[in-house]
């Protein structure tokens, strides 16, 4: 009963119906019993652009991260059962920035909408990270333009569950913001929540975790800067090239 009440007032869930979706929305769906959520940008016509890591490539770390990252892989049904909406050519494309139908993106989970321009008080009241930000969203046409450019170039670097993940991708598409001149990402609510839990173990206040999350939120950071998508892709390409040379 308590969880239903919290969901109704938006503190636990931002669940919406498909009829409420608008192009440019940042949407997400929980995976693995609410351990992790997968994020993307809805562009209309039942399509979502999102950032993921290809099947098998991230396995083998020997840690719980394997299970978490696998949950972000789109459920296209495999070669023997391709999704009728995405088409056969999409079934093998599961690496980097991809486009899929809404049903494949959700993989049987609920549809939720990420909130922007929330007050610091509401941000602190949220029970989970990775559901909202104090940062403002840009107009939907700019959001979709960024997402489509990153899809065209597959230009969001290498997936990392904490440092460069699907939520980072969606938040960048919505805001164009990165942290500092070095274009740091990895400021997603989920990543910050994990950091906050680690820090709060050394702090006595039960509100310390939420306070740490708030201070780390990109909408609260004084070093957050607007970066054109072309510049971001160029920086990722430069980083990837340097990594290959070394």
Task: Tell me the backbone φ, ψ of residue 235, rounded to 5 degrees.
Answer: -65, -45
Of residues 164, 184, 149, 187, the one with CA closest to residue 58: 164
SS3 content of the chain, % helix, strand, coil (to 5): 35, 15, 45
Q: Per this entry, what is the length of the chain?
A: 246
Annotated catalytic, 95?
no
Pairing of strands 47-52, 36-44: antiparallel
The two tokens of residue 144 are 């979709």
Of residues 223, 217, 150, the one with CA closest to residue 181: 223
3-state SS assignment for residue 245: helix
Task: Tell me the backbone φ, ψ of residue 40, rounded to 5 degrees.
Answer: -165, 180
Q: Which of 50, 101, 132, 173 is catalytic?
A: 50
Q: Which of 38, 39, 104, 132 is catalytic?
A: 38
**Cα 157 from chain centroid (whole Å):** 14
Q: Which of 83, 86, 166, 173 is catalytic?
A: 166
Annotated catalytic, 39?
no
Cβ–Cβ contacts within 10 Å for residue 18, how many?
A: 11
Annotated catalytic, 76?
no
Buried b (16+ CB within 10 A) or exposed e, 194-211: ebbeeebeeeeeeebbbb
Which residues are known to be catalytic? 38, 50, 166
């Amino acid at each position: 009963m308590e969880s239903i009440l919290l969901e109704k007032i938006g503190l636990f869930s931002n669940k919406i119906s498909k009829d409420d979706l608008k192009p440019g929305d940042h949407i997400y769906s929980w995976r693995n019993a609410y351990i992790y959520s997968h994020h993307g940008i809805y562009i209309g016509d039942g399509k979502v652009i999102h950032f993921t890591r290809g099947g098998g490539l991230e396995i083998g770390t020997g840690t719980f991260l394997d299970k978490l990252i696998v949950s972000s892989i789109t459920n296209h049904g495999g070669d023997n059962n391709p999704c009728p909406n995405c088409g056969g050519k999409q079934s093998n494309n599961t690496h980097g920035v991809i486009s899929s139908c809404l049903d494949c993106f959700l993989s049987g989970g609920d549809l939720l909408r990420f909130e922007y321009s929330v007050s610091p008080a509401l941000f602190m009241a949220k029970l989970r990270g990775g559901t909202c930000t104090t940062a403002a969203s840009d107009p939907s046409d700019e959001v979709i333009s960024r997402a489509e450019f990153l899809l065209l170039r597959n230009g969001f670097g290498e997936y990392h569950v904490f440092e460069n993940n699907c939520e980072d991708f969606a938040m960048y598409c919505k805001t164009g913001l990165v942290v500092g001149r070095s274009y740091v990402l990895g400021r997603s609510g989920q990543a910050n929540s994990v950091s906050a839990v680690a820090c709060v173990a050394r702090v006595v206040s039960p509100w310390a975790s939420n306070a740490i999350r708030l201070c780390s939120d990109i909408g609260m950071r004084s070093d957050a800067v607007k970066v054109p998508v072309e510049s971001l892709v160029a920086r990722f390409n430069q980083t990837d090239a340097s990594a290959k040379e070394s």
